[in-house]
Amino acid sequence: MLKNWFDASEAQEFGKNLAETFSQKNSTLEKKNAKLDKRAKLLGKLTSEVNKFGQTHRLNFYKKAKLGNAFKWTLLEKGFDATYVDLLTKEVILALK
């Protein structure tokens, strides 16, 4: 049972995939010079997806931290601004409830 508590591989994979998806959609919006409302919709979709994942998976604080960390570092490696990534990561963690 304790082993399952520390097994955060699924949460980490979700965080990484979430960052990859966000990065791709964000770059598409940048190329199109999208307006602020489209970027807000993207953030809404992101938090909605995170919320669904949180409802279907039992996440303790360790798994939530691993998910957030994977999300954050994937975006940082893709060259996003650190302050922006911190704000996005905070939104992702808060959407997990």
- Domain span holding position 63: 8-96
With respect to residue 2, please indicate whether it lies within any of the assigned structural domains.
no
Unique residue bearing structure tokens 């770059």:
27
For the chain, how many structural domains are there in total?
1
Unique residue bearing structure tokens 């919320």:
51
pLDDT value of residue 54: 94
pLDDT value of residue 86: 97
With respect to residue 3, please indicate whether it lies within any of the assigned structural domains.
no
With respect to residue 35, please indicate whether it lies within any of the assigned structural domains.
yes
pLDDT at 44 over 80: yes
pLDDT value of residue 5: 83
Which tens digit of pLDDT belongs to each residue from 10-36?
A: 999 999 999 999 999 988 887 777 777
